[in-house]
Amino acid sequence: MADKKLHLTIGSKSFVILFILIVCVLSSVHAQPEGLTDFYVESRFVQRLSWSGNEYVSRYEVIIEKEERGVFRQAHQEFSTASAIEISLPPGRYRYCITPYDFIGRRGRVTEWIDFEILAAVHPILYFSIPELYLSGNDKPLFLKEYVLIIYGADISSHADIFIRRENGLIISPNKAYVSLDKTEARLVFNDINIIPRNFDIVVKNPGDLEASMKSRSYISSPPDRDEARIIFDELDILPESLYAYFRIPVFIEVEEDVEIEKEPPSLKYKAIDWFLTFGYAPLFSAYNSIANYPEAKIAVPSAAMQFSFIHTAKNKSLGFGAEAVMSFYIFDTAFPDEGQSFKMNAVTIGINMIVQKLTFSEKMAFRFNFGLGGDFLFGDAVSNIPNSESFHLNIGAAFLWFITKQFCLRAGAETIFWITGDESSGALRPFLGIGFRF
């Protein structure tokens, strides 16, 4: 009996307390000014952070810092026995690091900071859609294979999932989707126009499964009504510039007077032809028979040579073609069998070569191949004693050029020369070492 009385007493007191609380709550609600409330709902999402675990680790310490005015400050710290945690963080830029602990509580090596960002999840808003072809202002655009749909709205995320949905629920995803930087427009590209139904829903799913949709038509056979579309944007008090042509709004371009326009520096003209003038040392060494079939002429050490050439190289090509005029001077010893005496003779060679040049190593070097012909002419006191004072020759050779600067180069090479005088022939090797100028 005592127990029952105690129970009733406690119940009566509880009822009185509950009644007082209800009265207080109702009084506070009625005391609030009209239009004000202190009740709200905040949508929060759960983020998951994970990392590579280790079987020798008993727990992990996770430290999360948030960037505030360029400085990272600690926002969260917790321990986890798993290699992942779930947490709800507001939008912002963050970084986190992991510290492992072994089974006896010893602290392991701390990982480097890992940056991440949480974007604000917002509901997208859709206003209007129109095929891109109508933005040109043409009432009867020609639809071919591709179908491009422009969507106008607000808060369309660049990470949103955007698609069209048929009346039977079938989803058709675009082959490409582009969202403007201000998140007010989206461009959907469908490669096959035949899959577009006459009526469909446009669906935009922002991150966090925040979704918006609106009904639309393909407008392939008939354009959308301008007046109805204009009412939509007039009520919103916005008008995208891309719709000016569709609404036939003239665009005026203001030209400011007395505005100094900064001119771009003139681009360098490509130089197709290079001219070269080269001077150097070019001795002669007999290969078989004597030099130019002159009696006992085996070597000509004192010598000099000059080449004047041009090379034409097409733009964006490394192979060039050209021609070269050559003049050389050399001195050699010869003997007259009838008189039993030897004399020093002077000779001048004049020739012309065809050239093929290959540029390499960022146009700092070049390889040349040349072939041509020329004549040799003797002069001096003993010229009358030599029966063949003039001879004809063919030559073929190669050279290497190293461009130290744009105008200055070094040249090294060698030629093989063949003389033909009547029924006789002879050959010689002529190396060359010199300097050149490009202009």
Which CATH number do you get for residue 424? 2.40.160.20
Domain membership flag for residue 59: yes
Domain membership flag for residue 6: no
**Listed residues 78, 97, 118: the one ending a domain:** 118
Domain membership flag for residue 263: no
Domain membership flag for residue 60: yes
For residue 366, give Cα distances in angstroms to 32, 321, 403, 413, 439.
91, 12, 8, 12, 16
303-313 vs 319-336, strand pairing mode: antiparallel
Q: Which residues contact 25 (CB under 8 A, 6 or more apart)?
A: none
> Are both 426 and 357 inside the same structural domain?
yes
Domain membership flag for residue 72: yes
- Quick: pLDDT tens for 331-355: 888 776 566 677 788 889 999 999 9
| Domain ranges, residue 54 | 47-118
pLDDT, residue 338, reads: 60
- Quick: pLDDT tens for 150-204: 999 999 998 899 999 999 999 999 999 999 999 999 999 999 999 999 999 999 9
pLDDT, residue 16, reads: 40
CATH number of the domain residue 185 falls in: 2.60.40
pLDDT, residue 369, reads: 93
Cα 205-210-212 angle, rounded to 5 deg: 60
Amino acid letter for position 421: T
CATH number of the domain residue 94 falls in: 2.60.40.10
Domain membership flag for residue 78: yes
> Are both 323 and 345 inside the same structural domain?
yes
Amino acid letter for position 254: E
- Quick: pLDDT tens for 193-236: 999 999 999 999 998 788 999 999 999 888 888 888 888 888 88
Which pair of structure tokens corresponds to residue 4?
């029952």
C-beta atoms surrounding 248 within 10 Å: 8
pLDDT, residue 340, reads: 63
> Are both 233 and 208 inside the same structural domain?
yes
For the chain, which ranges sit under pLDDT 50?
Answer: 1-42, 268
Q: Which residues pair with 176 in a beta bridge?
A: 189
With the C-alpha atoms ordered 338, 339, 344, 345, is the resulting torsion angle positive or negative? negative
> Are both 411 and 295 inside the same structural domain?
yes
Number of domains composing the chain:
3
pLDDT, residue 201, reads: 95
Q: What is the three-class DSSP state of 305?
A: strand
Of residues 431, 103, 102, the one with CA closest to residue 299: 431
Q: What share of the chain is helix, strand, coil (3-state, %, to 5)?
A: 15, 50, 40
> Are both 312 and 412 inside the same structural domain?
yes
User: In sequence order, which ranges of 110-225 are alpha helices (DSSP H)?
Assistant: none
Domain membership flag for residue 12: no
> Are both 391 and 369 inside the same structural domain?
yes
**Listed residues 118, 142, 161: the one ending a domain:** 118
Element (H, E) at 6: helix 2-31
> Are both 300 and 430 inside the same structural domain?
yes
CB 402 within 8 A of CB 238: no
Helix and strand tally (H, E) in the chain?
A: 2, 24
In angstroms, rounded to a whole number, what is the distance separating the alpha carbons of residues 187 and 207?
18
Q: What is the three-class DSSP state of 331?
A: strand
> Are both 98 and 163 inside the same structural domain?
no
**Listed residues 74, 94, 118: the one ending a domain:** 118
> Are both 426 and 333 inside the same structural domain?
yes
Q: Which residues contact 8 (CB under 8 A, 6 or more apart)?
A: none
Domain membership flag for residue 304: yes
Kindly list the strands in the beta sheet with 125-131, ordered across the sheet, starting from the edge strand earlier in the chain: 125-131, 147-154, 185-190, 176-179
> Are both 285 and 414 inside the same structural domain?
yes
Of residues 89, 105, 108, 88, the one with CA closest to residue 97: 108
> Are both 74 and 113 inside the same structural domain?
yes
> Are both 305 and 434 inside the same structural domain?
yes
